[in-house]
């Protein structure tokens, strides 16, 4: 468990907080490119690390991310007029470009130089992999973009979505690297009965994941710090001198990557949990196939909420099944069909993560052996934040190539070294 003080340091992301300053040393995904309409279109509200910002595309197609409050009397620029390479406040007509510079101040005398002294906070924006990224830290220490495989594959090989999640970002990361919970949270009652029968009968055929990941075979977890974050291994006891291993990864500062489709499959998934403020985050989902394009059918199904993507309230990034409607839980289905009675893997995750409250009180936790990876991730974040306060910049932010990793699941000899073996290296090395 964490102390109350440690939990505060871990979860607070405003400017000047230890964790907030760490987050500001990385590029942050904040919108899909499709979230901004054509040049001179409507601006989009964005909140990142507790800062109220506004994104807009100007007449020339440049994208700005600026303070949402007009420098004059703090009117909300969301209601501003996007015109002629600038955003004009509707209150008194002050106008700003994508760099936050005041271009026009019609309320002042034409000879006044007042506007030359006015500049809104503005953050740089880069576009990559269909995503808009921003950097909110010191300009002289601008980092590299993370070289994830999903960001490097051709566009047709990747599908990306994001949704609002109503809890602190660390709660979401906790769930993202938890290798045990899917045996319960995302399971069907029939699969539990069938697997129990297989175990009783000693059956060995089938997918290693199905055969070994059962309630009667809890994993032994190990974790180690890496240049990119934390590698977490979960060993499931096997037969005839072998073990089944699942490798989850935590990437600094808020990415997770479960094993996904398995070592023999080319379809993978990853998440980013970007802090909006202390109590909310953006949950990004990246699905990619590193060998072939995703089919039209796969993309259509993911748009409708398949896999770990979610079904949205039309025209928004809010899940249709959410905490306000109890995720439309079906208690009859919970009795007879599924462990939760909630439709959707993402929504099942929300029910436990959001259900803890906005910021969970970690002094009440009773962590067990299955939480080794979660403990390691929290310590890694806290240490990185403390190191930054001592002047040591996060290594991963400055070395984008450390993200050149996949997660994996493998059947290994019982005497194999869990973190150093050729099979693991081959399975976890990303390509493009």
What pLDDT digit, counting tens, does each position of 153-179 carry? 999 999 999 999 999 999 999 999 998
Q: 391: how many CB neighbours lie within 10 A of its CB?
A: 6
Which residue segment(s) compose the domain that 371 sits in?
Answer: 149-428
Same domain, 342 and 389: yes
301: left (phi over 0), alpha (psi -120 to 50) or beta: alpha
Same domain, 110 and 220: no
The CATH number linked to 53 is 2.102.10.10
Q: How far is CA 200 from the centre of its chain?
A: 39
Same domain, 237 and 271: yes
Q: Are strands 44-48 and 131-134 parallel, antiparallel or unpaired?
A: unpaired
Same domain, 78 and 195: no
d(CA 397, CA 136): 13
Judged against a pLDDT cut of 60, whether residue 136 lies above it is answered with yes
Same domain, 208 and 319: yes
In a domain, 144, yes or no: no
In a domain, 23, yes or no: no
Maximum Cα–Cα distance across the chain: 90
Same domain, 227 and 335: yes
What pLDDT digit, counting tens, does each position of 213-237 carry? 666 678 899 999 999 999 999 998 8
Cβ(128)–Cβ(151) below 8 Å: yes
What pLDDT digit, counting tens, does each position of 191-203 carry? 655 555 555 555 5
Cβ(14)–Cβ(22) below 8 Å: no
Instruction: Name which of 134-143, 252-261, 335-344 the model is least confident about.
Output: 252-261
Same domain, 61 and 206: no
What pLDDT digit, counting tens, does each position of 270-313 carry? 999 999 999 999 999 999 999 999 999 999 999 999 999 999 99
d(CA 176, CA 155): 25
d(CA 24, CA 13): 9
In a domain, 92, yes or no: yes
Last residue of a domain, one of 86, 105, 134: 134
Mean pLDDT of the residues in the chain: 93
What's residue 262's pLDDT? 42
Q: Residue 58 is encoded by which pair of tokens?
A: 């100007």
Instruction: Name which of 205-209, 326-330, 341-345, 420-424 the model is least confident about.
Output: 205-209
Same domain, 109 and 228: no
Cβ(297)–Cβ(306) below 8 Å: no
Same domain, 354 and 417: yes
In a domain, 139, yes or no: no
Last residue of a domain, one of 106, 134, 162: 134
Instruction: Name which of 82-96, 318-332, 412-426 the model is least confident about.
Output: 412-426
d(CA 162, CA 278): 18
In a domain, 283, yes or no: yes
Same domain, 333 and 361: yes
> Of 43, 57, 40, 32, which is closest to residue 128 (Cα–Cα)?
32
Judge residue 47's burial from the number of C-beta atoms within 10 Å of its C-beta, 0-12 exposed, 13-18 middle, 19 or more buried: middle
In a domain, 281, yes or no: yes
> Structural domain tally of the chain?
2
Q: Residue 172 is encoded by which pair of tokens?
A: 């979401």
What are the DSSP calls for 236-274, one per residue? EE-STTEEEEEEEEEETTTEEE--TT-TT--EEEEEEEE
Q: How far is CA 75 from the centre of its chain?
A: 31
In a domain, 15, yes or no: no
The CATH number linked to 422 is 3.90.380
C-alpha count within 13 angstroms, C-beta hemisphere, residue 398: 8
d(CA 87, CA 252): 35
Same domain, 45 and 88: yes
Same domain, 199 and 237: yes
Q: 279: how many CB neighbours lie within 10 A of its CB?
A: 16
CB contact set of 47 (below 8 Å; sequence gap of 6+):
53, 276, 277, 280
Last residue of a domain, one of 93, 110, 134: 134
Cβ(75)–Cβ(52) below 8 Å: no
In a domain, 4, yes or no: no
């Amino acid at each position: 468990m964490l102390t109350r003080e440690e939990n505060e340091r871990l979860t607070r992301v405003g400017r000047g907080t230890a964790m907030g300053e760490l987050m500001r040393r990385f590029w942050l995904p904040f919108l899909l490119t499709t979230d901004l309409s054509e040049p001179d279109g409507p601006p989009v509200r964005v909140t990142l690390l507790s800062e109220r910002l506004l994104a807009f595309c100007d007449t020339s197609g440049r994208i700005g991310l600026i303070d949402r409050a007009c420098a004059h009397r703090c009117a909300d620029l969301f209601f501003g007029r996007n015109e002629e390479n600038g955003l004009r406040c509707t209150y008194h007509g002050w106008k700003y470009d994508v760099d936050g510079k005041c271009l026009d101040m019609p309320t002042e005398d034409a000879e006044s130089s007042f506007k030359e002294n006015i500049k809104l906070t503005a953050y740089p924006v880069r576009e990559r992999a269909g995503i808009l990224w921003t950097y909110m830290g010191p300009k002289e220490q601008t980092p590299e973009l993370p070289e994830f495989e999903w960001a490097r594959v051709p566009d047709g090989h990747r599908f990306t979505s994001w949704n609002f999640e109503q809890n602190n970002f660390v709660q979401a990361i906790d769930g993202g690297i938890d290798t045990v919970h899917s045996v319960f949270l995302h399971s069907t009652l029939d699969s539990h009965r069938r697997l129990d029968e297989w175990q009783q009968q000693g059956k060995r055929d089938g997918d290693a994941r199905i055969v070994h990941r059962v309630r009667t075979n809890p994993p032994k977890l190990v974790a180690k710090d890496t240049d990119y974050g934390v590698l977490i291994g979960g060993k499931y006891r096997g037969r005839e001198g072998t073990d089944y291993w699942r490798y989850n990864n935590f990437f600094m500062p808020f990415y997770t990557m479960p094993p996904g489709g398995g070592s023999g499959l080319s379809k993978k998934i990853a998440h980013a949990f970007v802090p909006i403020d202390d109590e909310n985050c953006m949950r990004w989902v990246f699905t990619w196939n590193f060998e072939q394009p995703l089919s039209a059918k796969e993309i259509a199904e993911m748009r409708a909420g398949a896999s770990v993507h979610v079904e949205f309230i039309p025209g928004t990034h809010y899940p249709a099944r959410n905490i306000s409607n109890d995720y439309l839980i079906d208690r009859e289905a919970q009795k007879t069909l599924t462990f939760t009675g909630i439709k959707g893997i993402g929504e099942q995750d929300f029910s436990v993560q959001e259900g803890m409250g906005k910021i969970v009180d970690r002094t009440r936790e009773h962590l067990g052996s299955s939480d080794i990876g979660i403990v390691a991730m929290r310590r890694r974040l806290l240490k990185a934040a403390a190191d930054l306060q001592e002047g040591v910049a996060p290594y991963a932010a400055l070395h984008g190539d450390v993200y050149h990793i996949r997660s994996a699941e493998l059947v290994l000899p019982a005497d194999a070294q869990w973190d150093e073996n050729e099979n693991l290296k081959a399975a976890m090395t990303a390509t493009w």
